[in-house]
Chain A
Amino acid sequence: MVEIKTADQLNKKYLREGMWPTIFCNGCGHGTVLEYTLWAIEELGWDMDKTVFTSGIGCSSRLPGYINADGLHTTHGRAIAFATGIKAANPDLNIIVFTGDGDCAGIGGNHFIHAARRNIDMTVIMINNFIYGMTGGQLAPTAPLNSIATTAPYGNIEPPFDICNLAKALGANYVARWTVNHPYQPIKSVKDALAKKGFSLVEFLAPCPTAYGRRNRLGDIKKHWEWYDNNTILIEDYERIINYGSEKEKEEVKNMFPIGVFQDLEKPGFFEQYEKLVDRLMIKKNKKPVKKETVISR
């Protein structure tokens, strides 16, 4: 196997050439997230014949179409439900779910909650751009307060949905949030999430200059990408400031997005527990032959 070192070699190995270039707008972060995921898969050395990409509806959900692997493009918000079905039918497959903020937190919120609660073995890569970009800029449940959308022309008054803290509270095995601006930390984080058994979530804050940046007057592409540098803070620093910082520092970080690894656990996943259950019941059913065997062996 040839070792892959450049993006050109990566593209030739993983992408469907005929589909490119992507349909994403100028300055969109979705392609970057796809690239980070492919680098992580390359570092793990996964077999693409045993990997399934699942997605719902939205900009982010077009990503599996560009990858030369099996993909499933499902109904709005139901990507995680379909992924659970694939994993139940064939536990040998690796499941990666690409989903957006409207798809995962808004319409498929309940599927997300229960997949995280049951700790089903899959990796959810949620690309959060604060808005329903593909359908024309409607308000998403993750949009910050006072942000403007076509369905909220005078500013958003609903408090946003913090999906990472929700997953943390539900006991998901791996929860992380990153922006697309810094490449190396997310690649390592996606790699950890893919290698982890059980439910793992990586949330990406991705710029959407067309639907979100333009309405909220965040400036051109350069300024919009910089906005993510200036409005995020590492979770370790954030917690330190919230616990021990002065009032001024607390006021500064109040509206920032903490990024980093939120949770890293080693709990058994749903399918491991299910296998154990089947083994226990089989032993109970065949209790007598098992005892006989032990007698013979002595």
Chain B
Amino acid sequence: MIEIREDWCKGCDVCIDRCPVDALEKSDILNKRGVRPPKLKKINKCNYCRLCELLCPDMAITVIAEDKKEEVNKKLLRPVGGRK
């Protein structure tokens, strides 16, 4: 998840340009400076590397890592054969 202080954003788009997985885009709303702050794309591959958080010159971005555990298909790890 990504939290943005929209009033602090100046719209330099450094976060969008330098995201390694291209997970950010401009949002549809305007803030009070008249720029469009970034937001996460609906379908994204954000891996919480926190590069946008560290690079943002106005400290407007906070990345909160979600503990999302992907279900691992362990079928192959089951012992097969042997004594029943």
Contacts and interface: CB of A to CB of B under 8 A. Distances in A.
B34 to A, nearest CB: 12
B58 A21 contact: yes
Given A30-B57, A183-B55, A225 B62 contact: no
Interface string B16-28: 0110000000000
B56 interface: yes
Contacts of A36: 54
Contacts of B3: 8
Interface residues of A, number: 30
Given A32-B55, A32-B57, A222-B17, A26 B11 contact: yes
A152 interface: no
Given A7-B59, A24-B57, A35-B59, A225 B64 contact: no
B14 A221 contact: yes
A32 B55 CA distance: 6
A154 interface: no
Contact of A26 (B10, B53, B56, B60): B10
Interface residues of B, number: 23
A135 to B, nearest CB: 21
Contacts of B62: 6-8
Interface in A158-193: 180-181, 183-184, 187
Contact of A225 (B8, B10, B18, B54): B18
B64 A27 contact: no
A214 to B, nearest CB: 14
Given A28-B57, A35-B59, A184-B54, 17 more contacts: A6-B62, A6-B64, A8-B3, A20-B8, A21-B60, A22-B57, A22-B58, A25-B10, A27-B57, A30-B57, A31-B56, A32-B54, A32-B56, A34-B59, A35-B57, A183-B54, A225-B14
